[in-house]
Structure 1
């Protein structure tokens, strides 16, 4: 009676729970290929149907042969357990993608046009409703809701996740991570090739095993005592044949490599390392050089004003107020650092206003104490310019001053050089055609940077720093990080 109960229970496992293996095997065979599902379906079916035949034969003739229902059920259980563990690994990996998706804004500003194509207004829509061809408005400091092209206007976009120089367009990063997880490493392609010939080979070996043991038994090559009770040479040979197929079924050849790539790329994404594919992951063992971008990678990516030098008779507070008024309209990280420093100086270093600072709103502290600026213009790669009280103010680098005809005295040049040699960026300020002063802005090195560089060097990997900053600043940062080779472009 026990075998009849086993038949009933195992039938559910074989054809309900194990249905997926039959479906996948049939699909593979229709495509003219073989995979692990074919082996699972073949091995479990052989064990199941032999047991059914043995059970029915015993019921009719009274000669009861051993059955192997448990073999079929356990095999399906173990293979599905492996699939479940694989799904768990992929699920943990997909958390990285979910976190990236959460970076995308929930809404977007859609520009509404009339029939003539003229913009007549704007409407806030759900980001999921964005369609190809829509024109969206992106305000300074907000996140870009989708991939696209800039139709008009210009601004700074923080792309430090991708380039190291400035938060990325999250859709782009999500695509890169997903592409990496779906890509195949060379070793995986080899594993797929081996798997394609593995299944036919296993089937051939199983048939040879059946034929070999049956022939050996027929010629008396082994004693009759080896046969199971109520068994015969064919049943005995079939046991070994099924064993060959069963043992080969849980082969990790087609599972281990893609799971390893999936997990590795996900762990990398969680730790801020973008792995662009299985090929790159496999070749990583041969790395001789690691190239670091300076801003946001070796440094903290948070600019702070460290030095303020006024070269005229202007009061330091008035100078900072003037510069902050000009930079308040800019969304550049350096501009924000200057405005924040000036605001702190105005509200916390001046006794006359310090007592009232806690009662002021954030908007008041940002704009209420500044001069009115007009005709603001951001000059990429140089700085900014605008008019305050009808007079032109320039805030930027040497190139901006030279183009505007502002003379930089030797002592000012020496001061800027001094800042650059101490890993700071010198920002020059001119008002009414006269140079007023210089601000030194620093992006501190990350505390762990030097430790990481030293660790790489011990591994035989040569660290290299790449930056678009001036040569002196680059050299100073490289020295602080213990990097002996840097590229300035």
Structure 2
């Protein structure tokens, strides 16, 4: 029996560790082609036996996740939204913290503190407990395990002190509540970042949600693009969007294919030519027959490429999560050893043995570790924003460490996307002034973008006026004209064999008169950026859907040696993958055709004037026009990561000293709380230093 692809919508996965837990579960069941994306809430796998599906769904839900019919229509219950959990916990945590500064005696009461802490603790147990259990079951322990142990041990320690009336030095309710509330805030920020990333695919899907004019026996009916079948005859008018892939049966049109190829110059299409769904008819009207519809269309395949690129990324675990995998079992083992040795070797009784063991867990509470990464990231992201750089998520900062390649799209990234006349090369015996006059006279009758560029560039320079008697446009070729003296002219696309870089030719009476080079202009700071990257030991690469000649010209001007031209979206994806295998890779682009490649790269960087899709796909958006901000982004990222490492050192240095002291029973809980707070102050202070640090 042939294997079939199964797609499930799974909600509740809020980190890569969640996705890894599901992945390991499906691997154990022997399923093939497994693809799990926590960002898009999708789980895919292949199986020949459809009868195992109910048991697979039950096992996924036993990890604490939910399988839903349609993720788009699924409504998360009010009480299950992480934002509502955070606000609820903050409401109870605030008075617990205020008891340390306000002279309100009732806030010092252990019972009042217990009543305030209990709702927060219950929310924390349900939220982090589920994630901790799932990560342990999947064999990938995360920071939630530490948060759960830390908050629970602080609560149990405090509850013991309250029940036995041991005094204020045994109350850690505010520690328990603060840990839970702060980490929930981090989850809220992470969720918002994830939502921005996943909206890229949703935005692409909107291009599929268009109506189409379908020819039927009694006229024309308007249908949704999803309802079009292969073989349907469709009418597409000027200004309209081609609904599906097809072949032209009649008519001619100038079609903007930038969504697919990245080429900003419209392409002339005539009878029997192929058209692609999602492209725009700028001029003309065409009748097409649908050939590729649904999941077979080019646009649908780009969407699938993006989803796969997102899901296939190796998960970038936070440094804290990496360490937690070792730290959690070590701390639990030390606490158990403390209990056993204290109980059996010192005969201090069950109560003291328990308190010593819990003291170890309280002291090793991962508050400083929990703050180490987010505080540095927040300061780093803030500094980047002041420099006009929007970075989505702290993982991006880690992902750009030791970048070896920066891949650039050409049009709209290194160039402005606005066309201008680069050069006019007259043939022997022909006057440049006369040539300019003929070009302006002919192109004034055309609406083509290149024609407008020629007029804008030459009108002020043209001294000789040429009077034309007739003029006709040959679609896809150029313009033919005849002046009042009977001379015939042709201005159009350069024929094969013309000088490289010259893309237009002018003929007078069938004789070549001039060759014209028209291209989009380089951005003024592009050369400075490429030079800076080379100094940093990073290799620039040009990857474009544009013609090889134009790409080679741009690369030569900027000093880029590695060039990949005339690449379609799936080919761009393959090129990015090759460079990723050689080293850390950044991709900088601005078009929808760049979206899969931006997602596939270690980090995608989008221009501020880019298409909405590229912006949503990229992890970094340059909000200003200065391209050198790419270098600023790399430098800020490097120093932010350095700060995270310093913070983790201080957080662990505290634990390395405090845990043995607590295990030996020498640490007073009040001193423990003070040193814990001191480690937090060091971590936050070091992070704030990043605001003014020279990068």
The TM-score bracket by the shorter chain reads: 0.5 to 0.7
2:331 counterpart of 1:202: yes
How many corresponding residue pairs? 401
C-alpha distance after superposition, 1:403-427 (max 9, x if no partner): xxxxxxxxxx7xxx5xx6xxx6341
Structure 1 residue 156 displacement after superposition: 3.6
Residues 209-358 of structure 1: matches in 2 within 5 Å? 209-218=338-347, 233-246=349-362, 247-250=364-367, 282=399, 285=402, 287=404, 290=406, 292=408, 294-307=410-423, 316-325=436-445, 327-328=446-447, 335-342=448-455
Cα distance between partner residues in 1 of 2:141 and 2:472 = 72
2:529 counterpart of 1:449: no
Match of residue 82 from structure 1: 183
User: Which of the numbers 120, 128, 137 marks the counterpart of 2:220?
Assistant: 120
Residues 23-102 of structure 1: matches in 2 within 5 Å? 23-25=130-132, 35-49=142-156, 51-52=158-159, 55-56=162-163, 58=164, 64-66=165-167, 70-88=171-189, 91=192
Unaligned runs of 5+ in 2: 1-105, 267-277, 280-298, 483-487, 567-695
2:255 counterpart of 1:155: yes
C-alpha distance after superposition, 1:13-65 (max 9, x if no partner): 22246542344445557768755444444443444345445544x4xxxxx33
TM-score, normalization by structure 1: 0.59
Q: Is the 8 A contact 1:385 1:392 kept in 2?
A: no
Cα distance between partner residues in 2 of 1:350 and 1:50 = 92
Cα distance between partner residues in 2 of 1:166 and 1:106 = 20
Structure 1 residue 398 displacement after superposition: 2.5
Match of residue 20 from structure 1: 127
Cα distance between partner residues in 1 of 2:398 and 2:305 = 14
Cα distance between partner residues in 2 of 1:274 and 1:65 = 47
Which structure shows the bigger proportion of residues in strand conformation?
2
Structure 1 residue 173 displacement after superposition: 8.7
User: Which of the numbers 500, 505, 509 marks the counterpart of 1:428?
Assistant: 505
Q: Is the 8 A contact 1:427 1:438 kept in 2?
A: yes
Q: Is the 8 A contact 2:422 2:517 kept in 1?
A: yes
Relative to structure 1, is the Cα distance of residues 137 and 44 closer, same or farther in structure 2, using a 3 angstrom cutoff? farther
Cα distance between partner residues in 2 of 1:81 and 1:29 = 22
Relative to structure 1, is the Cα distance of residues 210 and 216 closer, same or farther in structure 2, using a 3 angstrom cutoff? same
* 2:504 partner SS: strand
Cα distance between partner residues in 1 of 2:124 and 2:319 = 31
Cα RMSD (Å) of the superposition? 5.6
Q: Is the 8 A contact 2:151 2:177 kept in 1?
A: yes
User: Which of the numbers 481, 490, 495 marks the counterpart of 1:398?
Assistant: 495
Residues 163-178 of structure 1: matches in 2 within 5 Å? none
* 1:242 partner SS: helix
Unaligned runs of 5+ in 1: 59-63, 124-128, 219-231, 329-334, 353-368, 379-383, 403-412
C-alpha distance after superposition, 1:116-169 (max 9, x if no partner): 7x971447xxxxx76375788777777788xx6455478342259x86877999
Match of residue 274 from structure 2: none
Relative to structure 1, is the Cα distance of residues 7 and 370 closer, same or farther in structure 2, using a 3 angstrom cutoff? farther
Relative to structure 1, is the Cα distance of residues 210 and 132 closer, same or farther in structure 2, using a 3 angstrom cutoff? farther
2:511 counterpart of 1:377: no
Q: Is the 8 A contact 1:308 1:437 kept in 2?
A: yes
Structure 1 residue 67 displacement after superposition: 6.7
Q: Is the 8 A contact 1:428 1:435 kept in 2?
A: yes
Cα distance between partner residues in 1 of 2:328 and 2:344 = 24
Relative to structure 1, is the Cα distance of residues 38 and 188 closer, same or farther in structure 2, using a 3 angstrom cutoff? closer
Q: Is the 8 A contact 1:101 1:171 kept in 2?
A: no
* 1:9 partner SS: helix
* 1:188 partner SS: coil
2:517 counterpart of 1:440: yes
Structure 1 residue 396 displacement after superposition: 0.7
Rg larger for:
1
Match of residue 226 from structure 1: none
